[in-house]
């Protein structure tokens, strides 16, 4: 089982966003324990690094992201995937379209996100952390 972890799941944990923190943290714990294989889109790293600038120093942001990369693999896309994402008009948010392209490129089973409505046209099924945990019996 391979899941692509959306940016908002990582931010829920690093910013301790309630009421989302617990389920999001459990997802990453499953990845860290190698009960499921997790990946993160390459562009999510730069987005998270930028978004966290108000709360963490550059050194701490690097340390946090390096720690996450100990158990999440980078999911990248190539030139053709980006072109395909730009040609698609079935996503209102280009970043979400790139998440779907990364998930497809790496044959993910799910995109774990809190914003499943944003992925209504996704080729890879989107699921919330809570629903994933419930569905998989965790």
Instruction: Write down the pLDDT at residue 36.
Output: 97
Residue in the block written with tokens 């919330």? 128
Domain range for 88 is 2-135
Asked whether the beta carbons of 14 and 5 are under 8 A apart, the reply is: no
CB atoms within 10 A of CB 129: 26
Q: What is the CATH number of the domain that holds 105?
A: 3.40.50.1010
Q: Are strands 110-112 and 72-75 parallel, antiparallel or unpaired?
A: unpaired
Query: Which tens digits make up the pLDDT trace of 6-60?
Result: 999 999 999 999 999 999 999 999 999 999 999 999 999 999 999 999 999 999 9
The model's pTM is 0.94
Which residue, among 73, 76, 68, 70, has the nearest Cα to 13 in the 3D structure? 68
Instruction: Write down the pLDDT at residue 115.
Output: 94
Instruction: Write down the pLDDT at residue 138.
Output: 86
Which residue, among 37, 27, 47, 61, has the nearest Cα to 96 in the 3D structure? 47
Cis? peptide before 19, omega within 30° of 0: yes
Question: How would you classify residue 34: left for phi > 0, otherwise alpha for psi between -120 and 50, otherwise beta?
Answer: left
Which residue, among 39, 52, 19, has the nearest Cα to 112 in the 3D structure? 39
Asked whether the beta carbons of 29 and 65 are under 8 A apart, the reply is: no
Overall domain count for the chain: 1
Query: Which tens digits make up the pLDDT trace of 76-130?
Result: 999 999 999 999 999 999 999 999 999 999 999 999 999 999 999 999 999 999 9
């Amino acid at each position: 089982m391979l899941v692509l972890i959306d940016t908002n799941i990582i931010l829920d944990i690093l910013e301790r966003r309630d009421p989302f923190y617990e389920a999001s943290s459990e997802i990453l714990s499953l990845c860290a324990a190698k009960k499921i294989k997790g990946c993160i889109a390459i562009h999510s790293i730069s987005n998270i690094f930028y978004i966290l600038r108000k709360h963490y120093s550059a050194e701490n942001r690097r340390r946090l992201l390096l720690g996450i990369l100990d158990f999440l693999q980078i999911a990248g896309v190539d030139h053709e995937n980006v072109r395909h994402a730009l040609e698609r008009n079935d996503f209102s948010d280009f970043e979400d379209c790139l998440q779907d392209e990364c998930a497809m490129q790496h044959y993910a089973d799910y995109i774990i996100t809190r914003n499943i409505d944003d992925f209504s046209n996704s080729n890879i099924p989107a699921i919330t952390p809570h629903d994933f945990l419930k569905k998989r019996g965790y």
